[in-house]
Amino acid sequence: MSSSTKAYKDRNFLAVIGDEDSVTGLLLAGIGHVSDNDGERTKNFLVVDAKTATEKIEKAFEEYTTREDIAVLLINQHVSLSDEY
């Protein structure tokens, strides 16, 4: 394994669950990561709007809090507190 591959493998990421503007801003800042795990693409971000099912938000939360490569999870306050999301 090359040193650059090892460094990449040992990285920690920031994950975000939030509205489109917040997620877009963080993606523009460079936090976005999409990996291919056994043919399934996994992301470290979820865009939430009024139509997003609560189950989808909960599933993303569970995934991000159990992944070993996620060091910080940012959640918009209105997403975590609002009944409409």
When divided into structural domains, the chain yields a total of: 1
Residue 36 belongs to some domain of the structure: yes
Would you say residue 58 lies in a domain? Answer: yes
DSSP for residue 68: T
Beta carbons within 10 angstroms of residue 73's beta carbon = 16
The answer to whether 79 touches 57, Cβ cutoff 8 Å, is: yes
The predicted pLDDT at position 6 comes to: 61
| Each residue's pLDDT expressed in tens, for the chain with a length of 85 residues | 555 556 666 789 999 999 999 999 999 999 999 988 778 889 999 999 999 999 999 999 999 999 999 999 998 887 776 555 4
Q: What is the pTM of this model?
A: 0.80
Burial class (CB in 10 A: 0-12, 13-18, 19+), 35: exposed
Give the CA distances from residue 1 to residues 4, 7, 10, 47, 69, in Å, rounded to whole numbers and listed in that order: 8, 10, 12, 35, 19
**What's the CATH number where 59 sits?**
3.40.50.10580
Three-state DSSP class for 30?
coil
Q: Does 54 fall in a domain?
A: yes
What range defines the domain where residue 38 resides? 12-81
At 85 the pLDDT is 47
